[in-house]
Structure 1
């Protein structure tokens, strides 16, 4: 136990060394009716990172570099975000993820997702339990759960539908989801650029995404893998309602609340977030080499 704590502490002290040593591979994976951009770095048991809505894989920059020192880290742009083109026919985000993992030669993985990515991670775990060794939903969405109506979100949608993506982005960054992170001058410029780059994407994909009809909320007790739920104390009420449901209905799940953090936990508190995730993963049973 002491050795594990020492290793985690040392890893957290040397982020720049880790950055310098990481050589990522990248490419496109063919999926039904399109292609998905993905990147892979490091060696070890696969760990996949799934980004939030109106963002892309770059929101995981800190984690991609950090965890590549111990795991085979996979991150990708969800269909229609970042460098992944929008869909041209009905598709499933869960099946896209399954295909990406196969492209990355990962039969099973630790699955981490934030917000939209958390919803995808949960749906994927239910659809493909044989491909998941541990689940970490972070400030997650949940299919089948209706978040409280937010007038600001309606205004964002109307602005996007009108083609005013600058206004849609500004409104999104002022929302309760993003406001805590936008107060940090270290991450606000990057977050703004990510949001602006992806402002139109979810609109392009929404009508073709078959997963919007999922209802994971009814099947949460079926999740049997080790599950760590992470949420910021300053996140919006709807997200806390979701994490409460997950904690109550997923057997043997555990929850960690990061005090003072908002919705974008991994960007707002990267070192604390990395430490929590690493400690959880290091407690998982050793994975045979043939499955790596």
Structure 2
């Protein structure tokens, strides 16, 4: 792990390899450790940087307004990177898309896994599913909330917990407990959003865009992946990867790594 000053905050990251730069941006229920299988695989051809977003993992959270997409570009500046491909999962995909829209000259390609985009509205079906699987957990009971969120996201709506590697569930719950603590602190700080949001600006994404989901992820995100790939001028939709839900790069690293190595410039 290395730490670096970015926009007044200290961000933690891991780095490996040389070549064209690639930045890995984690899910909101995780941290940079979710990319443990991608970092060595991509480092054979690329300079790979897996970052903890501000407040998450080992990165700090100064009590000052900020935007995650500004931080990503600040990280590129601090590392002397003129342009990078961004690979994002879930919330990290949202941040990656916002970055590409706010700073198009700094992004060479986007790879998105289970990613919403800013301005996404969840369907009533997904809201009901959340209530069923996560329920009304005490937001300060991180263990209970993490268990519910991992049931929703990592197991997914179409599988049972016993269908999923128990080691994956334990690791995801541990990461999510830390992420929930981060989100509680983030709720007290002004976090700027992209304006206007990305949902109606997908046609502005001029770089190559790879979009993938797990076959067991929530239906809203699979439909959104179809929309991103259709509206981004250079969008490519991967077939849904079977027996995988929301943390696709962590759960099924082999097909994800193969797709990334084939796609990244």
Determine whether 1:165 maps to 2:142. Answer: yes
For residues 83 and 220 of structure 1, do their structure 2 counterparts lie closer, same or farther at Cα, with a shift above 3 Å needed? same
Superposition deviation, residue 273 in structure 1 = 0.8
Q: Structure 1-normalised TM-score?
A: 0.81
Give the direction of change, closer, same or farther, for the CA distance of 1:108–1:160 in structure 2 (3 Å limit).
Answer: farther
Q: Does 1:272 align with 2:249?
A: no
- State the superposition RMSD in angstroms: 2.1
Instruction: Give the aligned partner of residue 97 of structure 2.
Output: 122
Superposition pairs of residues 1-292 of structure 1, within 5 angstroms: 26-32=2-8, 34-149=9-124, 150-151=127-128, 153=130, 159=137, 161=139, 163-175=140-152, 177-180=153-156, 183-206=164-187, 208-211=190-193, 214-257=196-239, 258-281=241-264, 284=265
C-alpha separation between the residues in 2 aligned to 1:242 and 1:100? 28
Determine if contact 2:212/2:238 at 8 Å carries over to the other structure: yes
> Which 4+ residue blocks in structure 1 deviate beyond 4 angstroms?
151-158
Shift of 1:58: 0.3
Q: Deviations over 1:156-176 (max 9, x none)?
A: 595353x2111111111111x
C-alpha distance in structure 2 between counterparts of 1:218 and 1:152, whole Å: 26
Q: Provide the C-alpha distance between the structure 1 equivalents of 2:100 and 2:166, rounded to a whole number of angstroms.
A: 36
Deviation for aligned residue 1:212: 6.7
Structure with greater helix percent: 1
Q: Is the 8 A contact 2:102 2:194 kept in 1?
A: no
Query: CA 1:84 to 1:156, structure 2 compared with 1: closer, same or farther past 3 Å?
Result: farther
**Separation (CA, whole Å) in 2 of partners of 1:152 and 1:201:** 24
Unmatched segments (≥5 aa) in structure 2: none
In the alignment, the residues of structure 2 paired with residue 157 and residue 45 of structure 1 have an alpha-carbon distance, to the nearest angstrom, of 44
Alignment check: 8 A CA contact 2:154 2:169 kept: no
Residues matched between the structures, number: 255
Which structure: larger Rg?
A: 1
**Unaligned runs of at least 5 residues, structure 1:** 1-24, 285-292
TM-score of the superposed pair, with normalisation by structure 2: 0.89
> 8 Å contact 1:78–1:84 — kept in the other structure?
yes
Given the superposition, is the C-alpha separation of residues 184 and 243 from structure 1 closer, same or farther in structure 2, using an over 3 Å criterion? same
Query: How far has the Cα of 1:222 moved from its partner?
Result: 0.8
Matches of 2:137 and 2:166 in 1, distance apart?
A: 26
8 Å CA contact retained: 1:160, 1:199? no
The answer on whether the counterparts of 1:49 and 1:111 sit within 8 Å (CA) in structure 2 is: yes
Give the whole-Å Cα distance in 1 for the aligned partners of 2:135 and 2:99. 27
